[in-house]
Amino acid sequence: MVSEEKETILWEVFIQPKNGLSHRHCGSIHAPDREMAILSARNVYSRRGEGQSIWVVRSIDIVSSDPDEKEETFSSDDKIYRHPTFYDVPDDVGHM
Amino acid sequence: MAKERKEKIASLEAFQEKIDRDEKIEPKDSMPEAYRKTLIRQIGQHAHSEVVGMLPEGNWITRAPTLRRKLSLLAKVQDEAGHGLYLYCAAETLGKSRMEMNQELLSGKAKYSSIFNYPTPTWADIGAIGWLVDGAAIMNQIPLCRCSYGPYARAMIRICKEESFHQRQGYEIMLTLARGTKAQKEMAQRALNRWWWPSVMMFGPSDADSPNTENSVKWKIKRYTNDELRQKFVDAIVPQAEKIGLTVPDKDLKWDKKRNNGQGGYAYGEINWDEFWRVVRGDGPMNNERISAKQKAWNEGSWVRAAAHAHALKKQTALQAAE
C-alpha cells in the first residue's frame, strides 16, 4: 500500500520581507532539488506577499553550536564592562 | 543506578524550572523523553488534521455557488495544506521524519481530529465548517502560540494569523443563506444542527477523562483545559448564531450567571461521549472514506515524486559532467 520511497532533501527556508531587512528563518520544506525547493518555499511560506526574496539551504549544511555548551560559549556575565551602564557619568552630563 | 536516577530527577527539575521561567525549548535543547513524545504525538495529530481537513471542503470547490466563493474556498484549502506542512516541519525538529508520519496516517495508525470524519452533503456545510470548526480550531490554537516548544509556537503564530479569514468566510456563507429564501435558511439551520455537537466535541474529552492534560499544562504545552476552551467556544458562538437568526440545537442551553467564575456563561447539555469515542475509534460516518482518499492521492502521485527525483538526479549528473 505505502511504497518504500526515499526521503526527499530537507531545506531550511529564509525569507526577506523587503529591502533593508535581513532574511529570516521561517521553517523548512522537502524538495528533491533547489529549483523545486524555491518553488515550494514560495508556495508554503509566502502566500500573502510575505517576502520578496527567498533563500533555501540544505538543513544538513547548517553547522550549529552545541546547545549543551551554551553556558561556556555564550556566557559574558563576567564582562559587565562591555555594557554602557558599567560606567558612572554624572547625571547633569545628560544623555550619553 | 542510584546515581543515574538522581541525575535524571535533577535534569527533570532543571527542565521544569526552565519552563516555569517561561523560557522556550528549542530543538537541540535537552528535554525529557515524555515531553518529546507528547509533542510529537500532538503536533503530528495536528498536522494530519490540517491535511485531512482539506477533504470535506475540497469536495465543494468545483461546486461553489459563485466564483467569489470558489476563490475563497480554494485559498482556504490551500492554507490548510500549508498549515499541515508547517506542522510536519515542527514535528520533524523533534526527530521524527515526515515520511514516517505520512505512513502512519496512510496506514490508519495515526489519529486526526474526528470532526473531519463527518460528511458535507450541502453547500451550507462549508459555511458551518468555516464558522464552527475553524472557530473551535482557533480557540484551541491561540493559546498554542505561547506553547513552550519554540518551533510549534512559531508555526501556530503563522497559522492563527492566516486562519482568521477562514472563520469569517464561513460565517459570511451562513449569514447569506440565513438571509436568503426559506429553503436556504433551512439548509443553513440543518448544517448548524449537523455540525454543532461534533464541534463542541472537538475540544476533546472532559477534563476528568483527559489523561494527557496534567503533564501538558505543567509543561506549558497546553494553557487551558479542554472544558475551559469548550466553554469559551460556546460563549462565543451562541450570540453569533442568534445574530443571524439560527438556533443552536441544544434544548438545555441557557445563560448561567455562575459560570466563568461568576462572570456568566452558557450552560450546555450533555455531550454524547459514546458517539465521540466511537468516531475516535474509527467508526464515524467518513473514517474509511478519508483514509482511502489519502491513500489514493499518495499512490496516484507516486509517478510525480519519482519524476521529480529523476529530474533532480539528471541535472545533478549533468552539472558534475560539466565540472
Q: In this predicted model, what pLDDT tens digit does every residue of B8-22 receive, in sequence order?
A: 888 889 999 999 999
Is residue B285's pLDDT more than 50?
yes
The Cβ-side half-sphere exposure at B187, using a 13 Å CA radius, reads 19
Give Rg (Cα) of chain B. Answer: 22
The pLDDT-based confidence of A72 (bands split at 50, 70, 90) is confident
For chain B, the three-class secondary structure string (H helix, E strand, C coil) is: CHHHHHHHHHHHHHHHHHHHCCCCECCCCCCCHHHHHHHHHHHHHHHHHHHHCHHHHHCCHHHCCCHHHHHHHHHHHHHHHHHHHHHHHHHHCCCCCHHHHHHHHHCCCCCCCHHHHCCCCCHHHHHHHHHHHHHHHHHHHHHHCCCCEHHHHHHHHHHHHHHHHHHHHHHHHHHHHHCCCHHHHHHHHHHHHHHHHHHHHCCCCCHHHCCCHHHHHHCCCCCCCHHHHHHHHHHHHHHHHHHCCCCCCCCCCEEECCHHHHCCEEECCCCCHHHHHHHHCCCCCCHHHHHHHHHHHHHHCHHHHHHHHHHHHHHHHHHHHHC
CA distance A16 to chain B (A): 16
The residue of chain B nearest to residue A34, with distances taken between CA atoms, is B312
CA distance B278 to chain A (A): 26
Yes or no, beta carbons of B308 and A6 under 8 Å apart = no
A70's CB contacts (< 8 A; 6+ apart) are none
User: Which of A19-28, B126-135, B245-254, B312-321 shows the lowest per-residue confidence on average (mean pLDDT)?
Assistant: B312-321
Chain A residues close to B292, C-beta within 8 Å: none
Q: Which residue do the cell numbers 521553517 mark?
A: A27
- The sign of the CA dihedral A60, A61, A66, A70 is negative
Mean pLDDT along residues B34-39: 96
Query: Can you give the pLDDT at residue A1?
Result: 39
Best residue of A14, A25, A33 to probe chain B, by most B CBs closer than 10 Å: A33
Q: What percent of chain B has pLDDT over 90?
A: 89
CB B58 within 8 A of CB B129: no
CB B112 within 8 A of CB B49: yes
CA distance B11 to chain A (A): 13
The residue of chain A nearest to residue B294, with distances taken between CA atoms, is A2
Arithmetic mean of pLDDT over chain B? 94
Query: Can you give the pLDDT at residue B79?
Result: 96
pTM over 0.80: yes
Is residue A75's pLDDT more than 90?
no
DSSP state of A20: T
The per-residue pLDDT for range B48-104, each reduced to its tens digit, is: 999 999 999 998 999 999 999 999 999 999 999 999 999 999 999 999 999 999 999
Output the nine-digit C-alpha cell for B6: 538522581
Across B183-194, b (16+ Cβ under 10 Å) vs e yields eebebbbbbbeb
CB B163 within 8 A of CB B141: yes
Q: What percent of chain A has pLDDT over 70?
A: 96
Output the nine-digit C-alpha cell for B320: 558534475
Across B205-244, b (16+ Cβ under 10 Å) vs e yields beeeebeebeebeebbbbbbbbbbbbbbbbbebbebbeeb
Yes or no, beta carbons of A33 and B315 under 8 Å apart = yes
CA distance B298 to B292: 10
CB B126 within 8 A of CB B173: yes
